[in-house]
Amino acid sequence: MSLRRAACLSLLIAIALASTARAGTVGREQDVVDLKLGQRVLVDDGTCPAGQVKEVRGAKMTDKGISRTSSCVPRHGPKSK
């Protein structure tokens, strides 16, 4: 396999992994129905203090599916100059 082909393949794999790990934002925790292992979803339901948002993560695999954990994390808005 040439070096160029290996570099392209590794780039595609990195993009695929990064897109699955990206956090989305929803309004209610009940809207998160198909949480995958390692996935992070930001929930803006007003339960966290000002300047923070709830982050729900697919923590570990159990017999009944993926167990969830949640914590308040800093809210990242648009970057200012």
Query: Which pLDDT tens digit goes with each residue over 22-48?
Result: 456 777 776 778 888 889 999 888 899
3-class state of residue 15 by DSSP? helix
Is this model's pTM higher than 0.95 or not? no
CB neighbours of residue 34 within 10 Å:
8
Distance (Å, whole) CA 32 – CA 26: 8
Indicate whether 59 pLDDT > 60: yes
Indicate whether 20 pLDDT > 50: no
pLDDT of res. 14: 59
Distance (Å, whole) CA 73 – CA 54: 6
CA angle centred on 10, ends 17 and 39, rounded to 5° = 5
Helix %, strand %, coil % of the chain (to 5): 25, 35, 40
Q: Mean pLDDT score of the chain, rounded to an integer?
A: 78
